[in-house]
Amino acid sequence: MQVNSTSENPEQNVPQGWSRERFDAGLSLSAASGTSEVDAELFIRKAFDEDPQKGCELLFRLYYRVLCTHAVRFVYSRDMAEDLVADVFYTFWNTQAFRSVRLSYRSYLFRSVRNRAYNYLLNELKKNDSLESATQHETPPSDRPEPIMHFEELYHKVDELVATLPPQCQKVFLMNRFEGKKSRVIADELHLSVRTVEGHIAKALATLRNGLKDHWVELVLLVCFSF
Amino acid sequence: MIPSVTKNLLFDHFAGRTTPLQKRLIEEWSRDEANQETFYQWLAEWEQQAPLYLPETDHALHRYRQHMENRPVVDGVVQQPDQSGHTTRNRPFWTRWLVAASALILLGLTGWLYRKTLLYESYRTDFGETRMFELADGSRVTLNANSLLQVPRIGFGNYSREVLLQGEAYFSVVHTVDDQKFIVKTDKGVDVVVLGTEFSVYARSRGAKVLLNKGKVQVRYEVEKKTGQVFLKPGDLLTIEGQRRPNVRTVIARKYAAWKDHRFLFENTKISELIEMLADIYGLKVEIKSEKLANRTLDGSFQAKNADEFLSVIAELLQITVHRQGHTVLFQE
C-alpha cells in the first residue's frame, strides 16, 4: 500500500483504486433519503426482539466497518481501531446494553466508539498504551459533558499534528502505526537503519503527545467555561 | 431563525473544512436530540463514502459470534464462559482433585527438568563454527565457535531484554523507543548492561572479557562476593580472571572482534594465548615439547575458515611443524 506522505486531510490517505464495497447484509447506509436507515434500524430492532444474538450480528455487519474507519481517525492505528470497536461490541453483548438503547443503535455505537477513542488518547498522554486502561474510565455515552463537536476537533487536531511531521518521519509513523508494520520491516523497505526508524516513531509520538496535551488544556478550559 | 444544517455542511465538517462560524452553527443544531440522530446517520454515511481503509469484517464477526456463544443469556443475565467440563459429575469430588493434583505435580516436575528448554530458546555453535542471527527486537548477535546464547521465550523485549551467554559473542544492539536495557548475563559473575551499542563478550572457563566497540556500556561484576560496576568507553577491554578485580585497558577493538569475519589478528600474542584460543574455538588440545617455543610471540593477521587452515598458517608463520591427530595437536620446532 502506498502512503501519501504529504497528506493534509484524511481522505488523501485513501489509496487510489480501492473499490468502495457495500455491506453484504442486504442493508445499505447510503440511500438517497433517510428512510432506508430508519428501516434498517427498525429491521434490526425486530431482530433483537426475536433473537438478541442475531440482532448483534446484524449490527456488527452493518456498522463494524464504518466504526473502524472512524476510530482510526483518532487512534491512527488500524489494529488499535479494530480492537477498540470489537471491544465496544463485546461490551454491548456482555452488559446487554441493547435492551436499554432508547434512540438508534447507530448513535449508541458511534458514541461508545468515540468515547473510547477519546479516553484512549487521554491515556496515551500518560504514556499508557493499553486498551484496558482506556476502558476502565469509560462512562456511559449519555453522561459525557463534552459536546458532540469536540470529537471532530480532536481527530482534526490529530490529523493536523501528523501533517506537521517532516515527510520521512510521517511516512515511517504511518507505516508503523496505521499499517502496523514492525520497525525492522520499515527499515528494510525504506533502506534505513532500525535505529533511525525508531527515532522517527519516537519523534512522531512525542509530537502527538505534546500537541494533544496543549489541545487538552484548551478543551478542559472550554468545558469549564461553558458551565 | 437558524439556517438548517445540510448534509454537505456536515460532510465538510467531518473532513475539517468548516469555518468557526459554521462550527458554531452545527454546535447549536446538534444540541437537539433528533438532530444528533441525523448527525450520526450522516457520519456513518460519510465514513462509508470516504473510508480511510477497508476493515475485514468476516473474521472479526466470526470472533464476535464465538464471544456471544460462549456467554449465553439465561433469564436476561449473561453467563460467564464456563471452562470446566460437564462429564465428571458422578465421580466423588476428591478424585477430580487427585487427578488435577497429580497432573499438576507431573507437569511441574517435567517443567522443572526441562525448564531451560521451556523458558529459553538456545542458539549454539559447534567448534570452528561462527553464526549470526537476529533477535526479536532487531538486535544482531554473532556467536563465536563453541558458544551458547539463551534468549527467554516469554517476555523478551516486553519490559527488558536479557540474554544468557556462555562462550563468546559479538552484539550489535538496537536502541528501542522506550529505552529498554539489553543485559548480557554470564556465569562468570559479569553482566553487561546497555541501551544500544556494539560490543563483544567473552565468558569461558578462564575468565571473562568485555570489549566495547561503539557507544557506552555498563559492566556489573561480582568478585569475592562483592559487587561493583564499571563504565566502558569505545576501545576499552575489560578482563576478569579468577577472583581478581577487573582490569580495564584500551586496545585496538578490531583485534578482539576480528573472529566475526573468520579473521585472526595477532600482535605480540603469546603462544599460550594462542593455545587457549584453539581450545575455545576448535576444541583442540595443544602440546608443546620445547620451553623455548612456548615463550615465543606471534604477529600477523590472517583468515582461516577451519582448524586445519588455521594450523597450517600458524606453522608457516612460526616456522614450525604441526602434527594433528584428532583433537590433539603437537607443535614442534
A19: pLDDT confidence band, cut at 50, 70 and 90?
very low
User: Is residue A39 domain-shared with residue A140, that is, in the same domain?
Assistant: yes
In a domain, A1, yes or no: no
pLDDT at B238 over 90: no
pLDDT at A20 over 80: no
β strands within A130-181, DSSP E? none
User: Is residue B179 domain-shared with residue B268, that is, in the same domain?
Assistant: no
* pLDDT, mean of residues B159-163: 83
User: Is residue B204 domain-shared with residue B300, that is, in the same domain?
Assistant: no
Q: What pLDDT is attached to residue B293?
A: 79
CATH for B131: 2.60.120.1440
pTM, full prediction: 0.48
Lowest mean per-residue pLDDT among A143-157, B23-37, B136-150, B159-173: A143-157
* pLDDT, mean of residues B173-202: 83
Q: What pLDDT is attached to residue A220?
A: 61
In a domain, B273, yes or no: yes
Of A144, A160, A179, the residue that ends a domain is A144
Q: Which three cell numbers stand for residue B246?
A: 577487573
In a domain, A8, yes or no: no
Q: What pLDDT is attached to residue B174?
A: 84
Q: Which three cell numbers stand for residue B171?
A: 552484539
pLDDT at A31 over 50: no
Q: What pLDDT is attached to residue A60?
A: 93
- In total, the C-beta contacts within 8 angstroms joining chain A to chain B are 144
Burial (Cβ within 10 Å: 0-12, 13-18, ≥19) of residue A14: middle
User: Is residue A111 domain-shared with residue A153, that is, in the same domain?
Assistant: no
User: Is residue A74 domain-shared with residue A154, that is, in the same domain?
Assistant: no
pLDDT in tens, A164-223: 999 999 999 999 988 888 888 999 888 889 899 999 998 998 888 888 877 776 666 555
User: Is residue B129 domain-shared with residue B218, that is, in the same domain?
Assistant: yes
Q: What pLDDT is attached to residue A109?
A: 93
pLDDT in tens, B109-123: 777 766 666 678 888
CATH for A181: 1.10.10.10
* Percent of chain A scoring above 90 in pLDDT: 23
pLDDT in tens, B202-227: 888 778 888 888 888 888 887 777 77
pLDDT at A130 over 70: no
Question: Hey, which of A30-34, A129-133, B28-32 has the most confident mean pLDDT?
Answer: B28-32
Q: What pLDDT is attached to residue A67?
A: 95
Q: What pLDDT is attached to residue B319?
A: 83
Q: What pLDDT is attached to residue A218?
A: 65
User: Is residue B299 domain-shared with residue B242, that is, in the same domain?
Assistant: no
What's the domain range around B29? Answer: 7-49
How many Å lie between the alpha carbon of A164 and the closest alpha carbon of chain B?
Answer: 16
In a domain, A185, yes or no: yes
pLDDT at B38 over 60: yes
Lowest mean per-residue pLDDT among A136-140, B109-113, B151-155: A136-140
User: Is residue B229 domain-shared with residue B145, that is, in the same domain?
Assistant: yes
Q: What pLDDT is attached to residue B291?
A: 77
User: Is residue A140 domain-shared with residue A186, that is, in the same domain?
Assistant: no
User: Is residue B244 domain-shared with residue B134, that is, in the same domain?
Assistant: yes
Of A144, A166, A188, the residue that ends a domain is A144
User: Is residue A134 domain-shared with residue A150, that is, in the same domain?
Assistant: no
User: Is residue A171 domain-shared with residue A115, that is, in the same domain?
Assistant: no
In a domain, A11, yes or no: no
Of A97, A129, A144, the residue that ends a domain is A144
In a domain, B85, yes or no: no
In a domain, A57, yes or no: yes
User: Is residue B217 domain-shared with residue B299, that is, in the same domain?
Assistant: no
User: Is residue A120 domain-shared with residue A165, that is, in the same domain?
Assistant: no
pLDDT at B29 over 80: yes
Question: From CA A112, how far away is CA A67, in angstroms rounded?
Answer: 10
* pLDDT, mean of residues A130-158: 60
CA-based nearest residue in chain A for residue B134: A184
User: Is residue A129 domain-shared with residue A172, that is, in the same domain?
Assistant: no
CATH for B308: 3.55.50.30
User: Is residue B231 domain-shared with residue B133, that is, in the same domain?
Assistant: yes
In a domain, B219, yes or no: yes
User: Is residue B35 domain-shared with residue B129, that is, in the same domain?
Assistant: no
* pLDDT, mean of residues A35-42: 66
Closest C-alpha among B139, B135, B140 to residue B121: B135
Question: From CA B236, how far away is CA B250, in angstroms rounded?
Answer: 4
* Domains: count for chain B: 3
User: Is residue A165 domain-shared with residue A198, that is, in the same domain?
Assistant: yes
CA-based nearest residue in chain A for residue B76: A96
B251: pLDDT confidence band, cut at 50, 70 and 90?
confident
How far apart, in Å, are the Cα atoms of A93 and each of A83, A86, A104, A208? Answer: 15, 11, 16, 34
In a domain, B327, yes or no: yes
Q: What pLDDT is attached to residue B258?
A: 74
Q: What is the torsion angle, in degrees rounded to the nearest 10, for the CA atoms of residue B270, residue B271, residue B277 and residue B278?
A: 170
Tell me what the pLDDT averaged over chain B comes to: 81
Q: Does B266 touch chain A (CB under 8 A)?
A: no
Please identify among residues 9-38 of chain B the ones whose CB lies closer than 8 Å to any CB of chain A.
13-17, 23, 26-27, 30-31, 33, 36-38
User: Is residue A135 domain-shared with residue A156, that is, in the same domain?
Assistant: no
CB contact under 8 A, A65 and B51: yes
Q: A68, A91, A157: best mutation site toward chain B, by most B Cβ within 10 Å?
A: A68
CB contact under 8 A, B174 and A194: yes
User: Is residue B18 domain-shared with residue B129, that is, in the same domain?
Assistant: no
User: Is residue A204 domain-shared with residue A172, that is, in the same domain?
Assistant: yes
Q: What pLDDT is attached to residue A136?
A: 43
Is the complex ipTM higher than 0.90? no
Question: From CA B98, how far away is CA A147, in angstroms rounded?
Answer: 60
Burial (Cβ within 10 Å: 0-12, 13-18, ≥19) of residue A74: buried
* Percent of chain A scoring above 70 in pLDDT: 67
pLDDT at A35 over 70: no
Identity (one letter) of the amino acid at B17? Answer: R
- B33 CB neighbours in chain A (<8 A) are 103
Q: What pLDDT is attached to residue A146?
A: 56
What's the domain range around A57? Answer: 35-144
| From B17, B47, B174, residue closest to A66, measured CB to CB | B47
pLDDT at A89 over 60: yes
On whether the CB atoms of residues B17 and A11 are closer than 8 A, the answer is: no
In a domain, A6, yes or no: no
Q: What pLDDT is attached to residue A37?
A: 54
Q: What pLDDT is attached to residue A98?
A: 85
Q: What pLDDT is attached to residue B137?
A: 84
CB contact under 8 A, A149 and B65: no
Q: What pLDDT is attached to residue B88?
A: 41
Q: What pLDDT is attached to residue A223?
A: 53
On whether the CB atoms of residues B215 and B232 are closer than 8 A, the answer is: no
User: Is residue B248 domain-shared with residue B272, that is, in the same domain?
Assistant: no
User: Is residue B219 domain-shared with residue B126, that is, in the same domain?
Assistant: yes
How many Å lie between the alpha carbon of A139 and the closest alpha carbon of chain B?
Answer: 19
CB contact under 8 A, B43 and A14: no
How many Å lie between the alpha carbon of A129 and the closest alpha carbon of chain B?
Answer: 12
* pLDDT, mean of residues B40-49: 90
In a domain, B293, yes or no: yes
In a domain, A5, yes or no: no
A64: pLDDT confidence band, cut at 50, 70 and 90?
very high
pLDDT at A13 over 70: no
Tell me what the pLDDT averaged over chain A comes to: 74
A128: pLDDT confidence band, cut at 50, 70 and 90?
very low
pLDDT at A132 over 80: no
| 3-class SS of residue A21 | coil
In a domain, B97, yes or no: no
User: Is residue A139 domain-shared with residue A56, that is, in the same domain?
Assistant: yes
How far apart, in Å, are the Cα atoms of B22 and each of A113, A158, B5, B26? Answer: 25, 21, 9, 6
pLDDT at A22 over 50: no
